[in-house]
């Protein structure tokens, strides 16, 4: 029988750079995972120097949050140089855990920093309880499950073993088996398992029918020429299933995503988790939470492998869904209660007459129409069109530092 839940699961968010780390934690993440300049799978993310890590750790500590480093490449011989120094440095600056897939890097970490906690990456393709048990016997406290694991399989793992399970709840899905894709290697000579994935599965491909008079394109018959691109994972409508199961860490994918995406998604899942634990027996899904997720969605959404084997309905194929798109328009820097004027740093163009929405942590929202804008010198302007310019805007309700402003495209 599954053990009763005694604590909330960790909400684990992506942080592609220092700014994203701060937004993720401010909007409710219990922990963030980042990449260093070596050994990670997101070579194009704004990866962290040791100095950035130290600043990120100091910020996280203020809010009681943790910082993990993904060092989850599948290493070749030439990739092993410097591994011990890297893990020793992470331990010395206070990183809470490292996420590793390759046994060689696990060994290097244990030798160089024996007290640095290791989590086994989803790249290790863990899909059964005996593999989980293997890592438990190796002294590993947590495994990150492959995205191909079902709710039923997770339940069996929790029943048989006392080890922390981490599972993805939201974000991009790989069309190939977790940790085993070589499509990018074949098509672009960029190694997907060493941080260079070109996302070849996301490209549009033509499809040909071989006829008597030569190959004939049939892609004109389709609305979209995707053939391998998966929809994105979202468990926003099914969180009680994971919460009742007792999954220890709920992970959001997206170190390459924007701060608007990270803040929005973290905000929603934080609200769902907290609301559930206030009164589990009477928990109901608020449709506003689902609507909010779609404001950050880049693609159609699926529950992937959680309940059944995915079908063609879980692929981006045919006519695309009409997903509303939003621009992150501004970041609140200050608010004057006397004048009810907010100081806003522009992130995308906005102007007088635009309907905009403010939102902040704990699912705080309101909409208004912009009536007036002033530049940083107090001069009235019709539109804030210069990147990162400082503006003043009259607001209908109080706002706070780190609240965000967006508008529908």
Q: Assess whether 266 and 371 both reside in one domain.
A: no
This prediction's pTM: 0.90
Q: Assess whether 308 and 331 both reside in one domain.
A: no
| Structural domain boundaries enclosing 166 | 10-178+229-314
Which of 253, 287, 314 terminates a domain? The answer is: 314
Which residues are registered as beta bridge partners of 168? 251
Instruction: Determine the length of the chain.
Output: 409
| Alpha helices (H) along 94-223 | 103-112, 129-137, 151-160, 183-188
Which of 293, 314, 335 terminates a domain? The answer is: 314
Report yes or no on 341 lying in a domain. yes
SS3 52: helix
How many domains, the chain? 2
Q: Assess whether 306 and 333 both reside in one domain.
A: no
Look at residue 102 in the predicted model and tell me its pLDDT.
Answer: 94
Which residues are registered as beta bridge partners of 391? 344, 375
Which CATH number does the domain housing residue 365 bear?
2.40.30.10
Alpha carbon 388 to its chain centroid, in Å, reads: 25
Q: Assess whether 55 and 157 both reside in one domain.
A: yes
Give the mean model confidence (pLDDT) for residues 169-192: 77
Where residue 262 falls (left for φ over 0; alpha for ψ -120 to 50; beta otherwise) is alpha
Which of 314, 337, 358 terminates a domain? The answer is: 314
Question: Which tokens is 52 given?
Answer: 């950035």
Q: Assess whether 350 and 298 both reside in one domain.
A: no
Element (H, E) at 20: helix 18-26
Looking at per-residue pLDDT, the higher value among 314 and 127 belongs to 127
Q: Assess whether 119 and 144 both reside in one domain.
A: yes
The neighbour count for residue 362, using CB atoms within 10 Å, is 11
Q: In this prediction, what percent of the chain has a pLDDT beyond 70?
A: 89
Question: Which tokens is 160 given?
Answer: 């048989």
Which CATH number does the domain housing residue 108 bear?
3.20.20.70
Q: Assess whether 73 and 164 both reside in one domain.
A: yes
The single-letter DSSP state of residue 363 is T
Look at residue 91 in the predicted model and tell me its pLDDT.
Answer: 98
Q: Assess whether 61 and 112 both reside in one domain.
A: yes
Report yes or no on 291 lying in a domain. yes
């Amino acid at each position: 029988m599954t053990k009763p839940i005694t604590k909330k699961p960790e909400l684990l968010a992506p942080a592609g750079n220092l700014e994203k780390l701060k937004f993720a934690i401010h909007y409710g993440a219990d922990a963030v995972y980042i990449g260093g300049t070596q050994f990670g799978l997101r070579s194009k993310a704004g990866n962290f120097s040791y100095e950035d890590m130290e600043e990120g750790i100091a910020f996280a500590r203020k809010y009681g949050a943790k910082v993990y480093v993904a060092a989850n490449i599948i290493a070749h011989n030439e990739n092993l140089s410097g591994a011990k120094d890297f893990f020793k440095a992470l331990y010395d600056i206070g990183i809470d855990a490292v996420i590793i897939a390759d046994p060689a890097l696990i060994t290097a970490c244990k030798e160089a920093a024996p007290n640095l906690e290791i989590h086994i990456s989803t790249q290790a393709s863990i899909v059964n309880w005996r593999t989980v048990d293997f890592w438990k016997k190796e002294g590993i406290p947590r495994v990150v499950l492959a995205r191909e694991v079902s709710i039923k399989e997770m339940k069996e793992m929790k029943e048989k073993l006392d080890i922390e399970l981490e599972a993805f709840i939201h974000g991009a899905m790989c069309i190939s088996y977790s940790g085993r894709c070589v499509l990018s290697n074949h098509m672009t000579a960029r190694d997907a398992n060493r941080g260079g994935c070109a996302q070849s599965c996301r490209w549009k491909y033509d499809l040909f029918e071989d006829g008597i008079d030569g190959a004939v394109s049939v892609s004109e018959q389709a609305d979209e020429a995707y053939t391998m691109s998966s929809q994105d994972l979202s468990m926003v409508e099914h969180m009680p299933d994971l919460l009742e199961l007792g999954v220890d860490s709920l992970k959001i994918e997206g170190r390459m995503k924007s701060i608007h995406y990270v803040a929005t998604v973290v905000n929603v899942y934080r609200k769902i988790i907290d609301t559930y634990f206030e009164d589990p027996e009477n928990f109901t899904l608020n449709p506003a939470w689902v609507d909010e997720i779609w404001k950050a969605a880049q693609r159609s959404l699926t529950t992937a492998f959680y309940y059944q084997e995915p079908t063609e309905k879980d692929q981006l194929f045919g006519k695309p869904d009409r997903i509303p798109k939003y621009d992150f328009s501004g970041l609140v820097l200050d608010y004057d209660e006397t004048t009810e004027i907010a100081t806003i740093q522009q992130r995308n163009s906005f102007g007088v007459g635009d309907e905009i929405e403010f939102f902040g942590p704990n699912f705080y929202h309101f909409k208004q129409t912009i009536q007036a804008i002033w530049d940083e010198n107090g001069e009235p302007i019709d539109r804030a069109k210069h990147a990162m310019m400082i503006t003043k805007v009259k607001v209908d309700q109080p706002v706070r530092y780190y609240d965000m402003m967006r508008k529908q495209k």
